[in-house]
Amino acid sequence: MLAAVKGDEEDTYTYHHHIGVGVLATLIGRWIGLEKTDLSLLTLAAVLHDVGKVKISEDLWLKPGKLTDEEFAEIKLHTIYGYELLKDTIGLSPRVAKVALLHHERSDGNGYPLGLKGTRLDSFSRIVAVADVFHAMSSKRPYRDVLSFHEIVSRMRKGTFGQIDPHISAMFLDNMILSLIGRNVRLTDGQVGEVVYINPHDDIHPLVRIGESFVNLSEQQQLHIAEVIV
């Protein structure tokens, strides 16, 4: 029974992660002006980016504690497994397999599995890397709670999750924040309100309307956006 429950938990996360990364990557593709054919290819590559997970033990993905070096080495193999699964698939563009292989590479060469740098990384892989990090940090996992929206944006801007493409990341985060206008958000004190203005000098601390009152997060920096309410 426990194995079944664990399997269901991982299956649910994996499904939502694949779809979520696909949606976010598609948004990025639209924002940078990809042609329709390339946009469709990017979406497919993003949805399939983690397919290699099927060859990794569920116990590793669901482990609540810190992974050993050996366990992390096995986790990293999902990129190679995904590439191997996709590269010879009839009718599938080689770029889809390349995204599965390279979405954990980083611009400074500190990613895996090949340690590639900068422009040696396929543009689709760099886009999916940004979408992958944002969605993963927005999701609850057995070993980590969901990070607040404010914290995810702040950490991505600081490069806490590795040196993902700075131009794609900045464009993505800027557009995500601008899209908050008119959206409901939950603040870190539990209050729910509507974002009505983005401060161009401090965009992560917007003006929020709560009932008949307004809260300027730029002036109350102990308060942050915890989550965007869908």
**Quick one: which H or E segment has residue 207?**
strand 207-210
Crossing angle (nearest 10°) for helices 123-137 and 166-178 = 50
For the chain, count helices (H), then strands (E): 9, 5
Q: How far apart are CA 81 and CA 74, in angstroms?
A: 11
Q: Which residue reads 């290699």 in tokens?
A: 52
Q: How far apart are CA 126 and CA 120, in angstroms?
A: 10
Task: Give the distance, in angstroms, between the CA of residue 49 and the centroid of all CA atoms in the same chain.
Answer: 12
Catalytic member of 53, 66, 76, 140: 53
Q: How far apart are CA 29 and CA 168, in angstroms?
A: 10
Could you tell me which residues come within 8 angstroms of residue 43 by beta carbon, excluding any fewer than 6 positions away?
Answer: 22, 25, 26, 29
Q: What letter represents residue 160's amino acid?
A: T
Q: How far apart are CA 158 and CA 155, in angstroms?
A: 5
Cβ atoms < 10 Å from Cβ of 117: 15
Contact 5, 149 (CB under 8 A): no
Task: Give the distance, in angstroms, between the CA of residue 142 and the centroid of all CA atoms in the same chain.
Answer: 17
**Active site annotation includes 53:** yes
Q: Could you list the active site residues?
A: 53
